Structures are given as structure tokens and as C-alpha cells.
Amino acid sequence: MSSPPSCSPRSVRFLLGVTLLALALGWPAMAAAKAYSLGDLVDLARRSNPGLAASAQQTMQIQAQLLEANRSKMPSGEILSLLAPAPEILCQPDLAIDPRTQNKDYRQQNCFRTNISEATLNLKGVFTRTELHLVQPVYTFGKISAGVTAAQSGIAASRSREQGQAAELELNVRRAYWGMKLAREILDAIKDGIGYLDTAQAQINKELSTGKGSATPADRYRLNAVRAEVDSRTLEAQKLGRTAQSGLRALIGPEAPADVDVDAEPLAAVDVPVRPLAAYEEQARLSRPEVLALNHLVASKRALADLERRRQYPDVVLLGTATFAFANSIDNPQNAFSNDPFNTLSAGLAAGLRMPLDIGVRNAHSLRVAAEAEEAVQRRREALGGILFEVQRAYSDLVEAQERYRIMQKAEKSGHSWITAVSQNFAAGLAEARDFSDALVSYFTYRLRGLQAMYDLDVASATLSRAVGGDITR
């Protein structure tokens, strides 16, 4: 298979443009490989692309923040348990020597003093103590609900960003898919048209060898130059295919098949219903994933600002405590007024008001977050203007591509009729080699430009669909 000859500057520029576009977009190669439809390639890319997987993990992080906000309604606190050696500390009922002091219960019920009054290293036992402190929020002046709202809006924004990245990936896959078909159609067009060149060269060689006819050596050189240009463009097209296959694998990800190829269906121009620009702009405002992400982002920022403002208010809480302590070498006086940290079992419940004292710092932080929320509002307005400009540009490209495709269809028919007529006259000796060369270049030029217009129309349609956030062909 060979690439089209490009004797005219216009043809050369077109083929060079195709090559550069292939290098930029990564069109798949034409090697014998497993064929995938467009839907198969899009599904494969959505499953395997690392960028989409990373975006999904970002959403999971925000989902964890939502879980954290919801669980802030639950009691919080801490438990502390320790184990240590303990000295021997015994109760003494009175100053007199009383044989009943050998009875531990009697000592604990009539504890007047202890056998030691200061710290000692007379360690003879084991001491353990466990303390539990719980705080249950009762009323937080809207802090919890504001945190939940911020997290929910953050999740919605992250999911919309995921959809935007998936749509961008799909657009690039479509470009690669149609780009490969364009490259294949170019090679097929060259294969179909190269027969004209073969016939003309055979005719000139015959006339020069027999000395009959009007052919001159200059005619042979002219067609040889066309042949060399065809061979050169063939090599470029083959290189384009190899580069394209690598590009498509990069879009799919590390798990992409090494033999990825597209189906055998020919490149076809999509049919786009006629709609005014205003309809596409309105669709973008309502459906574009990035617009939805910005809306959710603003809602999240405002909820965060509300949360920071409410953090300056107190919390009404319930406080719960429980303590257990025991030391086997220390007596436990049976007296409500005795503070015995070594042997105790107690629990308590109280209502409290928890109030932050760094109000000035919290107020400044609240003002900063409120300013960030207002910045998000302005950024959304700025981005929406850019998105609408993108819609307008994509719409303009689509209208131009539709008109150019219509014109090129007519030009291609004329070019085909021209080369057919000239080739017949040339075979009958009624046309010169220059006429044939001009007709052949014209045929290839219009044929390739027609294919390019078809590709541009497909890409323009997909680009506008991406810009408005929905399929415009439906």
C-alpha cells in the first residue's frame, strides 16, 4: 500500500499535516492485530486508564471525609490503662497497739492513719488503674450538619471531575480511532489510484522503447518523480501507523493489548442535526461535567465557610467518666472523704458547655475560608465564560467542517472524472503526460482533502459533544 503523491504544494502540505496530527494524537497502526470497535476502545480505556483510576481514589478520599463528618455525632473520648509496682501501705486504727490491726477489714473500717506518710520504695505489690472519659455532642450549633454538607458537595464535585476526565479520554480515543481510519483510507485511496500511474508509466516506457508516440524522456522523469513522491508518502504513512498504535496504547494504559487495532468499517461522516448555538450553550450550562463540578465546589466552599463560622460557638455536651483502680498491697480506707487513688471504682455523668477561648484566631480563620468561598464563586464565573467560548469555537469548527466536507465531496467527484477521462485519452494517445500528471495530482489532492474533511467533521462533532457535555448527534 502506498501514500498519495504530492506533486502540488497543497498536497504536500496536507500530507505533512496528517503526519503531524498523527504524532500529536497517537493514531493506531495498520498492522495485523485484533480489531476493536469504537465502543470497545472507549470501554477498555475507561477500565484501564491510570488517570481515571487516580480520580476515583480522590473521590474515595472525600467519601472518607463524609464518613468522618457523620461519625462526629458519635461519642468521643479516650481510655487510659496502666500497670505499675506498688508499695505496702497499711491502715492504723489508733496509736495503741491493737491485735485487731492484723485484720484487713477492721483496719480499713477504722483507718486513722497509715504506716507510712511519705513516698517509699518498699514495693511489695502491683497497682493497676483504668480511666474512661467520653464526650457526647448534644447540640453543636450546626457544626456537624455543615461538615456533612461540605463533604457531600465535595463528593459530587469529585464525581463530576471524574466524568469530565472520562469525557476527555473518550474524545482522545475517538480522535485516535478516526485518525487510524483516516490513515487507512489514505493508503487505500493510494492503492486504488496507483493503477493510473502504473498504466501511464507502462505507456510511456512502451512509446520510448518503440519510438512510436509523442512520449519524451521528460515525461518519464516527470512520472518517476511522482512515483518517488508516492513511495516517500507511503513510508510516512507506515511510520504514522506505528506511532499511532503506541499513542492509543498510552491512552488505554499499561494493560493495553500490544496488537490493538480498529475495526474494518470505513471512515464515515457523522450526521449532526441542525441546532442554534444558543441551544449548545444552554446544554453546556446544564450538562457539562466541569460546570457541575464548579457548582458543587462552590457549594462545598460555602459549607466549609459556614462550618468555620459556627466553630466560634460553644457545644452542649454530655460528659461521662469511669475509673477503676486496685493495688493488692495497699489498704482501702472505708471513708467517703478519703481520697484513695490506689483503690477506687467510680463513674459520673454530667452536662457541660464546651467553649473555645481562641475566638480571635477562629474568627480570622473563618474570614479566610469565607473569602475562599467567594473566590470559588468568581472562578466559576470565569471558567463558565471560558467554557462558553470553547462551545462557540467548537460550533464554528463544526459548521466549517460540514461546509468543507460538502464542497470536497463535489471536488472529489470532479477530480475522479478528470483522471478517468485523461487516463483514457492518454492510453489512446490523445493526451500528454503533463495532462495526466496534473489530473493525477488533482485527483489525489481532492480525494485526500475529502478524507481529511470527513475526519475533521467527525472530530468537530465529538469536540462539540465534549464541550456541551452530551452527544450532539442524537
CATH at residue 258: 1.20.1600.10
CA–CA distance from 235 to each of 5, 452, 455 (Å)?
A: 12, 19, 21
Q: Which residues fall within 8 angstroms of residue 60, CB to CB, at 6 or more apart?
A: none
Cα-Cα-Cα-Cα dihedral sign, residues 104, 107, 111, 114: negative
In whole angstroms, what is the distance from residue 415 CA to residue 191 CA? 16
Q: Is residue 21 part of a domain?
A: yes
In whole angstroms, what is the distance from residue 2 CA to residue 188 CA? 8
Same domain (yes/no): 262, 188: yes
Task: Work out the burial of residue 317: count CB atoms within 10 Å of its CB; fewer than 13 is exposed, 13-18 middle, 19 or more buried.
Answer: buried
Q: Is residue 368 part of a domain?
A: no
Q: Is residue 450 part of a domain?
A: yes
Same domain (yes/no): 150, 132: no
Q: What is the dihedral of CA 94, 98, 103, 104, to 10 degrees?
A: 20
CA–CA distance from 265 to each of 3, 38, 42, 261 (Å)?
A: 20, 10, 17, 12
Same domain (yes/no): 225, 127: no
**Cα 252 off chain centre by:** 13
Contact 127, 107 (CB under 8 A): no
> Which amino acid is it at 165?
Q
In whole angstroms, what is the distance from residue 53 CA to residue 51 CA? 5
Same domain (yes/no): 89, 44: no
Same domain (yes/no): 98, 121: yes
Q: What is the pLDDT of residue 321?
A: 96
Q: Is residue 1 part of a domain?
A: no
Q: What is the pLDDT of residue 384?
A: 93
Cα-Cα-Cα-Cα dihedral sign, residues 259, 263, 264, 268: negative
Task: Please write the tens of the pLDDT for every residue from 223-272.
Answer: 888 778 777 777 777 777 677 777 788 899 888 887 888 888 999 999 99
Contact 454, 407 (CB under 8 A): no
Q: Is residue 4 part of a domain?
A: no
Nearest Cα to 150, choosing from 77, 76, 74, 72? Answer: 72
Same domain (yes/no): 216, 281: yes
Q: Is residue 37 part of a domain?
A: yes
> Which amino acid is it at 72?
S
CA–CA distance from 148 to each of 69, 71, 138, 384 (Å)?
A: 5, 10, 16, 27
Q: What is the pLDDT of residue 244?
A: 73
Same domain (yes/no): 346, 384: no
CA–CA distance from 323 to each of 53, 80, 333, 334, 468 (Å)?
A: 49, 10, 17, 17, 64
Same domain (yes/no): 398, 256: yes
Percent helix, strand, coil in the chain, to 5, is: 65, 15, 25
In whole angstroms, what is the distance from residue 306 CA to residue 299 CA? 11
Q: What is the pLDDT of residue 3?
A: 37
Q: Is residue 370 part of a domain?
A: no
Half-sphere exposure of 251 (CA within 13 A, CB side): 31
In whole angstroms, what is the distance from residue 246 CA to residue 28 CA? 7
CA–CA distance from 411 to each of 230, 251, 308, 414, 443 (Å)?
A: 21, 36, 67, 5, 9
Q: What is the pLDDT of residue 388?
A: 95
Same domain (yes/no): 197, 273: yes
Same domain (yes/no): 327, 430: no
Containing domain of residue 112, as a range? Answer: 78-140+314-363
**How many structural domains comprise the chain?**
2
Q: What is the pLDDT of residue 27?
A: 40
Same domain (yes/no): 295, 406: yes
- Which residues, given as ranges, of the chain have pLDDT below 50? 1-32
Same domain (yes/no): 153, 258: yes
Contact 228, 201 (CB under 8 A): no
Q: What is the pLDDT of residue 205?
A: 85
Q: What is the dihedral of CA 196, 198, 199, 205, to 10 degrees?
A: 140
Q: Is residue 351 part of a domain?
A: yes
Q: What is the pLDDT of residue 99?
A: 60
